[in-house]
Amino acid sequence: MNSIELFGTVTSPYVRRVRIVLKEIGRAYRWVDTSQPEGQSLMRDLNPLWKIPTVRLDGRAIFDSGVIVRQLLKAFGHGGLALHDPDDVEVCRVVTVTDGVLDALINSFYLKKEGVSDQTPYLQKQEGRSRAALAWLESEVRGPWLTRTHRFGLPEIGLITALEWMMFRQVYPVDQHPRLVEFLKQHQARESIASTGPERE
pTM of the model: 0.96
CA-angle at 83, arms to 77 and 87, nearest 5°: 115
Residue 201 has pLDDT above 70, yes or no: no
pLDDT at 159: 98
Q: How confident is the model at residue 192 (pLDDT cuts 50, 70, 90)?
A: very high
Parallel, antiparallel or unpaired: strands 60-63 and 30-33: unpaired
Per-residue pLDDT tens digits for 149-167: 899 999 999 999 999 999 9
- What percent of the chain has pLDDT above 90? 93
Give the CATH superfamily of 4-76: Glutaredoxin (3.40.30.10)
pLDDT at 181: 98
CA-to-CA distance for 146 and 156, rounded, in angstroms? 6
Q: Which of 26, 34, 152 is nearest to 82 (CA)?
A: 152
Q: Which of 119, 126, 118, 134 is nearest to 173 (CA)?
A: 134
Topology of domain 89-194, per CATH? Answer: Glutathione S-transferase Yfyf (Class Pi); Chain A, domain 2 (1.20.1050)
SS3 state at 143 = coil
Beta strand spans in the chain (E): 4-8, 30-33, 54-57, 60-63
Q: How confident is the model at residue 86 (pLDDT cuts 50, 70, 90)?
A: confident
Parallel, antiparallel or unpaired: strands 4-8 and 30-33: parallel
Parallel, antiparallel or unpaired: strands 4-8 and 54-57: antiparallel
In degrees rounded to 5, what are phi and psi of residue 148?
-70, -15
Domain ranges of the chain: 4-76, 89-194
